[in-house]
Chains A and B, each alone.
Chain A
Amino acid sequence: MKTRYLRQLAVAAALTVGGAGVAAADCPVKVGVALPTSVDWGKPIAETALWVTDMINEAGGVDGCPVETILRDTQVDAKVGVDAAKAMVDLDKVQLMMGAVSSGVTLPILTSVTVPAGVMQISCCSSSTRITGLAEEGSTKGLWFRTFATSNVQSAVLTKLAKDAGYGKVTVFYKNDDWGQDMASLLDNALKASGVEVAASIAITDNQPSYRAEVTEALGGNPDAVILALYPKEGIAVTREWISLGGTTKMVGANSLRSEEFRDAVGMQYLGDFIGADTSSPRTASASAFVEAYKAKFGGEPSGPGLPNSFDAAAISLLAYHAAGKDATGAEIAAKVPMVTDPSGVPVDANVEGFKKAMALLSEGKPVSFQGGTGAVTFDANGDVSAPAVSWVFTESGIDEKQYIPLEEVNAFIQSLN
């Protein structure tokens, strides 16, 4: 331990100003993880990311080097998150940063830490359209990726599902944070544009003693169905209240509700008509590798917002790191991301075997198509995930994907709304 730190210190001391390619050449490869582990939905996201690094290490590590993750809690406080990221970039010389979750933390990390330092940043769970704007300006320098669909895509898919189900009038419950507000205004436009009446759009603020007033308000609108853009905790509170007051069980939910916690707390008997939206593509044969592996590891279905996304963010970025080599800079890693997500590449699965195969191929310079928790992921020029959509339902034994909506169809639908 001591010698390692002395060595790090020596390495740090040897580094010179302003250099590209200053990454420490020593093993292990250090990777920063800045996630809100002190928040209910943050902890499992972080667990998933750490689990991926374990699997990558089992598969041989990045470029033969074991990966060492440095996990820091952002506390959903921009000051704390940015400081943590800065410490990881400056002191530990990470070239790859995973995180954060809420855009209020992700955005300042991106603009004041990772982009200026040339570090690649990949987020499992930030959906804000503000970041797309930043990328369009060129301010992210191609260092930014996210595996969570933008609110734009999410709201379009929810609208499509509601419309296809024949609901003429809906009420929207949305989480009163950056993601939820974005969703609410986009949903409002999308629903109206496709001829679905919005009876009410109701903000659900975190951590309130009671949501009864909000639910009562929604009940008055007498909608055919409700659209839930909520996280499991408020989702459970609102949905239970809604059902107990006699609200309709016709519900359309965002991918954040794709969780066993939600299913168990609300109860299957009320979730028969529930349709969920997510961004994912049909998997290759071995496909639910992620789900299977997750069950084996944690003894339950991946449950909670952003878990498959967190898995994919970690896996894709680490495979890209492998392809770029252990001494790569953030920009070099980012440049290898398309090689990992090449639709024409060899499909590889989301488990240790798959990682081994992927690493061997990448080392030979051959592209692969990573089949992750959310399917075969690809990114557009802004680092946003280009995502085909899927609808899913709850079943007694878990969660089943019902209908895949190809990327072209999603895009065509988004076009038709404008």
Chain B
Amino acid sequence: MIGVISYLAFFGTVAAILAIAVLGLNLQWGNTGLFNGGVAAFFGAGAYGAMMLGGPADPQQLGGFALPYPIAFAGGIGLAALVAWAVGLLTLRLRHDYLAIATFGVAVALEAVARNAEWLTGGAKGMRGFPRPFEGLFADQFTYNLAFLGFVVIILIAVYAGLERLVRSPYGRVLRAIREDEVAARALGKNATRLRLEAFVLGSAIIGVAGVLYVSFYAFISPQDMAPILTFQIWAMLIVGGAGNNRGAVLGAFLIWGAWTSSGFLLSKFAPTAVQIYTGPIQYIMIGSVIVGMLLWRPQGLLPERIERTKTGNEAPGENASQG
């Protein structure tokens, strides 16, 4: 039983970390309509930022200042936000698909920096030895993992609650207005450019939080952790869960990560040995099929966006809005 709990705690921690990233993306895409194709870049910025500030010193590279955890935490978020701000200034005026590709390119470029700038990031072999927070307080790994799960879940709830408040506020309504009809929003005197940038930076900072938690948990980060597949995973979670709906985002994260890991688990259990060697490609085909199937049969996601009726009742029809 302990084994099952231990594994589930581990699974839950990773899923909750990913759920935070999905919430960040949901603010950008689901609520503001910004197509961020470079989620991995901001996740990586958060993780590397925290590692450089909080990690142990390494004579071969800059960074490793071994600063206290809260500073490393804030630094990771700060780096993610800073990168997002710079990227946003350059790319946010592009239309959707250009923005998707430009941000995808940002992720490729940042991965190249992480992989090649050995003096800064340790290069392809990554950086290790991040001091895991409060580890000294716990007697064994098992209880520590449970406590860490609690820590991550608390942050997840905080982010969720904050975003729920935000999207229900007038500010959230303006963001949705920009998503639906930017010209109309401008006509009402809203500074759409600035609001888009704010939403982009805030969403990326939340994705950065996920990156910080990731490096806190594994105590290790390498360029492999910011491969484009991460962007794909986070997007899959949002699409399946339901863009525009924060509950959907969290649900999607747990479902997709569950499907991703359990497909490997089930294949290793039930597939004949001769087939096992092919499980890698088979697993990818299954994942691809789930995504495509979902978009074919339920493009609005499992939990579609709920449009709240305002007093005038003149807002965009729910059908369109739910596509978010």
Once the chains bind, are A72 and B125 in contact (CB under 8 Å)?
A: no
CB distance from B52 to the nearest CB of A (A): 17
Once the chains bind, are B222 and A90 in contact (CB under 8 Å)?
A: no
The reply to whether the CB of A82 lies closer than 8 angstroms to some CB of chain B is: yes
Residues in A with CB closer than 8 Å to B124 are 104, 176-178, 180-181
The reply to whether the CB of A103 lies closer than 8 angstroms to some CB of chain B is: yes
0/1 interface trace, chain A 385-411, chain B, CB 8 Å (1 if under)? 000000000000000000000000000
CB distance from B105 to the nearest CB of A (A): 15
0/1 interface trace, chain A 110-124, chain B, CB 8 Å (1 if under)? 011000110000000
Question: Roughly how many angstroms separate A177 CA and B2 CA in the complex, as a whole number?
Answer: 38
Interface Cβ pair total, 8 Å cutoff:
141
Once the chains bind, are B3 and A104 in contact (CB under 8 Å)?
A: no
Interface stretch, picked from B69-77, B167-175, B245-253, B261-269, is B261-269
Interface stretch, picked from B89-97, B188-196, B275-283, is B275-283
Once the chains bind, are B273 and A72 in contact (CB under 8 Å)?
A: no
Give the one of B11, B14, B115, B280 with max A CB within 10 A.
B280
The reply to whether the CB of A203 lies closer than 8 angstroms to some CB of chain B is: yes
The reply to whether the CB of A46 lies closer than 8 angstroms to some CB of chain B is: yes
Residues in A with CB closer than 8 Å to B280 are 36-39, 42-43, 73, 75
Query: Which of the residues B2, B14, B125, B264 comes within 8 Å of A17, measured between beta carbons?
Result: B2
CB distance from B61 to the nearest CB of A (A): 12
Interface stretch, picked from B80-88, B224-232, B305-313, B315-323, is B224-232
Residues in A with CB closer than 8 Å to B141 are 116-117
136-195 of chain B: CB within 8 A of chain A: 140-142
Query: Which of the residues A42, A70, A104, A108 comes within 8 Å of B223, measured between beta carbons?
Result: A104
The reply to whether the CB of A182 lies closer than 8 angstroms to some CB of chain B is: yes
Sort chain B's interface into a size bin: 35 or more
Once the chains bind, are B6 and A90 in contact (CB under 8 Å)?
A: yes
Give the one of A13, A37, A50, A176 with max B CB within 10 A.
A37
45-96 of chain A: CB within 8 A of chain B: 46-47, 50, 70-73, 75-80, 82-84, 86-87, 89-91, 93
Once the chains bind, are B224 and A72 in contact (CB under 8 Å)?
A: no
Residues in B with CB closer than 8 Å to A203 are 116
Question: Roughly how many angstroms separate A285 CA and B240 CA in the complex, as a whole number?
Answer: 61
Sort chain A's interface into a size bin: 35 or more
Once the chains bind, are B14 and A111 in contact (CB under 8 Å)?
A: no
Once the chains bind, are A130 and B264 in contact (CB under 8 Å)?
A: no
Once the chains bind, are B115 and A50 in contact (CB under 8 Å)?
A: no
Residues in A with CB closer than 8 Å to B268 are 70-72
Q: In the complex where A78-B218, A79-B14, A79-B225 touch, is A71 in contact with B128 (Cβ < 8 A)?
A: no
Residues in A with CB closer than 8 Å to B116 are 176, 203
102-145 of chain B: CB within 8 A of chain A: 115-116, 118, 123-126, 128, 140-142
Once the chains bind, are A84 and B261 in contact (CB under 8 Å)?
A: yes
Residues in B with CB closer than 8 Å to A112 are 217-219
Once the chains bind, are B277 and A37 in contact (CB under 8 Å)?
A: yes
The reply to whether the CB of B284 lies closer than 8 angstroms to some CB of chain A is: yes
0/1 interface trace, chain A 157-191, chain B, CB 8 Å (1 if under)? 00000000000000000001110111001000000
Question: Roughly how many angstroms separate A78 CA and B279 CA in the complex, as a whole number?
Answer: 17
The reply to whether the CB of A12 lies closer than 8 angstroms to some CB of chain B is: yes
Once the chains bind, are B128 and A73 in contact (CB under 8 Å)?
A: no
Residues in B with CB closer than 8 Å to A36 are 280
Once the chains bind, are A86 and B128 in contact (CB under 8 Å)?
A: no
Question: Roughly how many angstroms separate A36 CA and B279 CA in the complex, as a whole number?
Answer: 10
Question: Roughly how many angstroms separate A108 CA and B214 CA in the complex, as a whole number?
Answer: 11
Residues in B with CB closer than 8 Å to A83 are 10-11, 14, 261
Residues in A with CB closer than 8 Å to B123 are 178, 181
Chain A residue nearest to B229 in the complex (CB) = A77
CB distance from B151 to the nearest CB of A (A): 16
Query: Which of the residues A76, A86, A176, A181 comes within 8 Å of B10, measured between beta carbons?
Result: A86
Residues in A with CB closer than 8 Å to B218 are 78, 82, 108, 111-112
Residues in B with CB closer than 8 Å to A196 are none
Once the chains bind, are B2 and A73 in contact (CB under 8 Å)?
A: no
Question: Roughly how many angstroms separate A203 CA and B223 CA in the complex, as a whole number?
Answer: 16
Q: In the complex where A15-B2, A76-B224, A112-B219 touch, is A87 in contact with B260 (Cβ < 8 A)?
A: no
The reply to whether the CB of B296 lies closer than 8 angstroms to some CB of chain A is: no
Question: Roughly how many angstroms separate A15 CA and B116 CA in the complex, as a whole number?
Answer: 47
CB distance from B184 to the nearest CB of A (A): 41
Once the chains bind, are A90 and B224 in contact (CB under 8 Å)?
A: no
Residues in B with CB closer than 8 Å to A128 are 125
Once the chains bind, are B264 and A72 in contact (CB under 8 Å)?
A: yes
Question: Roughly how many angstroms separate A86 CA and B261 CA in the complex, as a whole number?
Answer: 11
The reply to whether the CB of A18 lies closer than 8 angstroms to some CB of chain B is: yes
Q: In the complex where A15-B1, A38-B284 touch, is A77 in contact with B224 (Cβ < 8 A)?
A: yes
Q: In the complex where A15-B3, A18-B140, A76-B224 touch, is A107 in contact with B277 (Cβ < 8 A)?
A: no
CB distance from A206 to the nearest CB of B (A): 10
Q: In the complex where A78-B225, A84-B264 touch, is A181 in contact with B140 (Cβ < 8 A)?
A: no
Once the chains bind, are B261 and A178 in contact (CB under 8 Å)?
A: no
Once the chains bind, are A178 and B126 in contact (CB under 8 Å)?
A: yes
CB distance from A295 to the nearest CB of B (A): 19
Give the one of A17, A43, A89 with max B CB within 10 A.
A17
201-228 of chain B: CB within 8 A of chain A: 217-220, 222-225, 227
Residues in B with CB closer than 8 Å to A104 are 124-126, 222-225
The reply to whether the CB of A418 lies closer than 8 angstroms to some CB of chain B is: no
CB distance from A6 to the nearest CB of B (A): 14
CB distance from A82 to the nearest CB of B (A): 7
Query: Which of the residues A46, A105, A117, A176 comes within 8 Å of B115, measured between beta carbons?
Result: A176
Residues in A with CB closer than 8 Å to B118 are 181, 185
Query: Which of the residues A18, A46, A130 comes within 8 Å of B125, measured between beta carbons?
Result: A130
Residues in A with CB closer than 8 Å to B227 are 76-77
Chain A residue nearest to B144 in the complex (CB) = A116
Give the one of A13, A43, A103, A108 with max B CB within 10 A.
A108
The reply to whether the CB of B7 lies closer than 8 angstroms to some CB of chain A is: yes
CB distance from A57 to the nearest CB of B (A): 11
Query: Which of the residues A47, A71, A91 comes within 8 Å of B4, measured between beta carbons?
Result: A91
Interface residues of A (CB under 8 A from B): 12-13, 15-18, 36-39, 42-43, 46-47, 50, 70-73, 75-80, 82-84, 86-87, 89-91, 93, 102-105, 107-108, 111-112, 116-117, 128, 130, 134, 176-178, 180-182, 185, 203, 205
11 example contacts (A-B, Cβ-Cβ < 8 A) are as follows: A18-B140, A38-B280, A38-B284, A50-B276, A87-B261, A103-B126, A107-B128, A111-B220, A130-B126, A176-B116, A176-B124
Q: A17-B2, A111-B219 are in contact. List 5 more A-B contacts (CB 8 A).
A: A18-B140, A18-B142, A117-B141, A178-B126, A185-B118
5 tightest Cβ-Cβ pairs between the two chains A and B = A38-B280, A90-B7, A104-B224, A104-B222, A178-B125
